[in-house]
Structure 1
């Protein structure tokens, strides 16, 4: 287990590497590797364990009764998933948690995170605080996604999402974690319509892109305000 990496994740922030081995034992930790497209947690299942992405990335994908699937969440290395559903006994997952690329996941028993063991580990209290912060940040990201998908037009949604990514990454040149189909699913639009709108924005000089790398110019940022 790469304890140096774990110590840098939000969930284990402030916990010493030498304490992580004991803590992982308390949390009944286990790891598993998944290939791209493999389902980690399946729709309709109750879960009691959460996942922390060690390598690669995963998506939460919801299949609509009518129409295509939608990406409702994306988690990269260091991110946690499944915590809100594992926290409520019997709560069923509304979508699949799927490997977006080959990945390795660390699984932890959530009930053991929120219950201080009989050893009274001082670092366990820090873990509980970290878990609460991680959950709050995930809720904020969900609220942000609602802003991206609230635009009336595809251009509104693209400008909102791309502007936010530029701000988060601190540069007008940045990389997004989605290919075209995934971006369309995330923004809740058709891929062909999204590609057509991106083409128009490129011809108008609002944005330049190659695959999942984008560059915004000043006019794009002003338009998005």
Structure 2
């Protein structure tokens, strides 16, 4: 775990906590780690979770699966970000999505009960972590509402324009990389991959954007 202290300390969950405090808190929170190979399940829909999961290396896809195994990607979790925190905080609530390793991935598990129950000494850095967790939950609610905006668009083009506009605004630039490959983006927007690819090519030919793999550059036209 020592090899990942920098990743942990730079995460939003540990914002404002010194490296020495981080090491102390990892012991206090009964932290453990586990490694997963690409495409393996970290958590499955229906699981009961009691830990906040922090990605130390690699990335994780949160996916919603129907009865027939069709997947809809909810979001992608990068190194330094957390997942499953909402379900961990609501005791007895089965997980509504599955977490799948998008690549070789290592995950840190933090006991949510120890996070939410302050130390007997009411240490300041523990209180900061609780505030950080609340901030993350609020931010993810905003991201969820943003996705609803994308999905509420009626056409594949409108969904793409909504998503790409939001990513450009988030990056503060018309040139940016997205976290998804083509199939993952189609799943995220709940559209057919072929139709989406055709629409991207049409928009490129119309001068609205340029792209190469997961890099996009929007035009002012």
TM bin (shorter chain): over 0.9
Q: What does residue range 66-215 of structure 1 map to in structure 2 within 5 Å?
A: 68-215=70-217
Structure 2 Cα separation of the partners of residues 63 and 11 of structure 1: 28
> Aligned pair in 2 of structure 1 residues 183, 138: CA closer, same or farther (>3 Å)?
same
- Against the structure 1 CA distance between its residues 67 and 16, is the aligned structure 2 distance closer, same or farther, given a 3 Å change threshold? closer
Query: What is the alpha-carbon distance in structure 2 between the residues aligned to residue 44 and residue 54 of structure 1?
Result: 24
Q: Is the 8 A contact 2:7 2:79 kept in 1?
A: no
Structure 2 residue aligned with 1:32: 34
1:125-158 deviation line (CA, Å, top 9, x unaligned): 1111111111111111111111111110000000
Deviation at 1:117, TM superposition (A): 2.1
Deviation at 1:68, TM superposition (A): 2.4
Uncovered stretches (5+) of structure 1, i.e. residues with no partner = 220-225
C-alpha distance in structure 1 between counterparts of 2:181 and 2:49, whole Å:
29
Closer/same/farther in 2, CA of residues 152 and 66 from structure 1, 3 Å limit: farther
Q: SS where residue 73 of structure 1 aligns?
A: strand
Q: Distance in 2 between matches of 1:155 and 1:42?
A: 32
Instruction: Write out per-residue CA displacement over residues 71-100 of structure 1, whole angstroms, 9 at most, x where no aligned residue.
Output: 012111111100111111111112210111
Aligned counterpart, 1:56: 58
Between the aligned partners of 1:40 and 1:197, the Cα distance in structure 2 is: 34
Once superposed, what is the RMSD of the aligned Cα atoms?
1.3
Aligned residues: 219
Instruction: Tell me by how many angstroms 1:5 deviates.
Output: 2.6
TM-score (norm 2): 0.95
Shift of 1:66: 5.8
Where structure 2 has 5 or more consecutive residues not aligned to the other structure, the ranges are: none
Q: Secondary structure at the match of 1:90?
A: coil
CA offset at residue 67 of structure 1? 7.4
1:37-76 deviation per Cα after TM superposition (whole angstroms, max 9, x unaligned): 1110111111101111111111111112367210012111
CA–CA distance in structure 2, aligned partners of residues 94 and 196 of structure 1:
32
